[in-house]
Amino acid sequence: MWQWLKRLFSRKAAVAEPEPQIWNFRIKGGRAEIGAVNDALERAAMAGDVPEPAMRAMQVALDELLTNAIMHGSVSLNDPMQVDLIIGQSVLRAVIVHAGPAFDPTQVEAPDLDTALPDREIGGLGIHLVRSMMDEFSYEHADGRNVLKLGKNFR
């Protein structure tokens, strides 16, 4: 699995980049488990591997997407969600894989930001926030699973 992730996100460069750090998490259904992912991002930022603005943007994006997957997907003890964080030399990436109905958040319409707040429809603002904060945001449905890929460039 790790080799697949490295190949998936590798970029050709004139100078060889160091191997990316890859951290794997399995979330079995509780929102409290999202804290472990956030803690790993904090440790990476404190070690100097990821600038704080990139780390905070990824934390917000992951909190939104992981919460949605837990609430609307089929995340359980028997079928946990896989979250992989990939820290490269100039990019922070995440891959989220979970069971559940096919749902492509990249195709969600932007919310109406011009209407007064009390008159707006509920929903879509979190995904809009993710889309606006990430440099990469893609979706595919493979083998009955939702696969989301996020990326935030830095340096």
Q: How confident is the model at residue 86 (pLDDT cuts 50, 70, 90)?
A: very high
More confident residue, 56 or 74: 56
> What average pLDDT does range 43-54 have in this prediction?
87
Contact 66, 34 (CB under 8 A): yes
Q: Does domain 21-153 have CATH number 3.30.565.10?
A: yes
> What average pLDDT does range 117-131 have in this prediction?
81
What are the DSSP E strand ranges found in 63-115? 81-87, 91-99
pLDDT value of residue 147: 97
